[in-house]
Structure 1
Amino acid sequence: MAGFVTRFAPSPTGFLHRGHAYSALTAHAAARAADGRFLLRIEDIDQTRCRPEFETAIYEDLAWLGLGWETPVRRQSDEMADYAGALDGLAARGLIYRCFRTRKEIAEDIGRAPHGAMEMFRGAPLPRHDESHRLAAGEPFAWRLSLAAAEAALGGFGGLTFVEEGSGPNGEQGVIAVRPELGGDVVLARKDVGVAYHLAATFDDALQGVSHVVRGQDLFEASHIQRLLQALLGLPSPVYRHHPLLTGPDGKRYAKRDRAETLREIRARGVTPEALRRELGFD
């Protein structure tokens, strides 16, 4: 397929495990089948959790698996000026606002919502005097995307769709109507982290010419907000291919927080990359 470009974009907050290997191999296989390009991107914007040793291990583990990628590799922490420019553009159009609420306060608001967690947080800018007072006091805040302002700017969300060539967690396929309310007024930047995932990933996919986003079904709902950002920023919309999440013998998905066996540990047990690829369904 002419112009096929996809990527694997891990965050160096821990060592890679089988689930990461499955996702990387899936994206790499898709690029090879289409005679396309496979990119590696390091999503290290959260400098409070990312570590250089984890980034080094990403390169080592993927090379051990037999994967190759184009260089130079884009590291998000090196490109913060790009994201700041995109954020400034949204701010100038009144599409984002400063939110001073803590995560705990927002969680409590969501819990009180009549439809539960699916009715995600929606807010609004503070009156100018109150905002100025809080800024002068040095209170922390997050930049949130205003769905109300975005809807007004686009004349509604009714015409927004994205194409799903894989499947969502509930079997969603084909042309998907965008539902930004699933995410609510998402955070696009924080003082402690800088730019947040949705803005950085959306910006990078467009900048790098990604035509197909191949990733796990846990990020399917993120596509709704990212498609909205594409519309607001005048960026192209890639095709999405979400794949099922790899699970262990206990039926639970592999996760760093659950201390899933890492690729480094698998390698130390003497398992060959060929054996692991076969185990994951890649002969």
Structure 2
Amino acid sequence: MAEGKIMKALSGFYYVLSDGEIIQCRGRGVFRKQKITPLVGDYVIFQAESKTDGYIMEVCERKNELIRPPIANVDQAILVFSAVEPDFSTMLLDRFLVLIEAKDIRPIIVVNKMDLLNEKTKPIVQGYISDYRRIGYDVIETSIVTKAGLEQLLPYLEGKISVFAGQSGVGKSSLLNALRPDLQLKTNDISFHLGRGKHTTRHVELIEIGDGLVADTPGFSALEFQDIEEEQLPLCFPEFRQRSHECKFRGCTHMTEPKCAVKSALEAGDIPVYRYNHYRHFMEEIKERKTRYY
């Protein structure tokens, strides 16, 4: 028996890194009965007669896992959004942030394609960037064309397992190619007919960039709060979490309760209106999901 880390999952095979070598493995048949699915990032125990004939015998305990993208033991999520093409979406970003916060994974926001902003769009996007920085998020502004922000991003990756995630067409693969040119990951321009990017990444794989491991993941634009409960949602908004102890009622949902510190901060302009509106929208979505399932 040997130990290793799954670096890639593709077509039913798992590629496990162990002692500097990659071993191609399959999962045990019993995993399906036990509803265990090995994920990229998993630490596993395996046995192998050769480099192409291994079997994963056990999946070690995970510190966290994501469903979409399917990956485990992540230290941080690099949430890549474009300033334009496709347009910067605070609603979609807040969805990503809630899902990442719920998993206790550190989010880092990257706003790519900054070079495409014009006099009309630049103040709008810069305003959003200022809002998220004020909340406490790290926000890095990047451009593949000008190479701006790339040197700033690299130190964040050192010694970490990072997942690059975001809507299709925002430039995730292009960013990774810029950080490590020998990767030559396939990229595609945005499809203007559909208004979203064409999918270019078809599987999850951990790749080495500097002293860190990075997952380039399939793009997606739909995210559902399957595992998040009503009482958990306020904790996924840092600016709400920081003020909750000032609310009159313990366990305040910041919806209809009187003397709510979050609503007071909203009225004072200390919390962006769109963030609070997204919160209300997400809360209704979670309530509707519960009604549907019960």
Give the structure with higher Rg (CA): 2
Query: TM-score higher than 0.5 here?
Result: no
Larger RCO, structure (CA 8 Å, separation 6 or more) = 1
Bin for the TM-score computed over the shorter chain = under 0.3
**In proportion to residue count, which structure has more helix?**
1
User: Could you tell me the TM-score, scaled by structure 2's length?
Assistant: 0.23
User: Could you tell me the TM-score, scaled by structure 1's length?
Assistant: 0.24
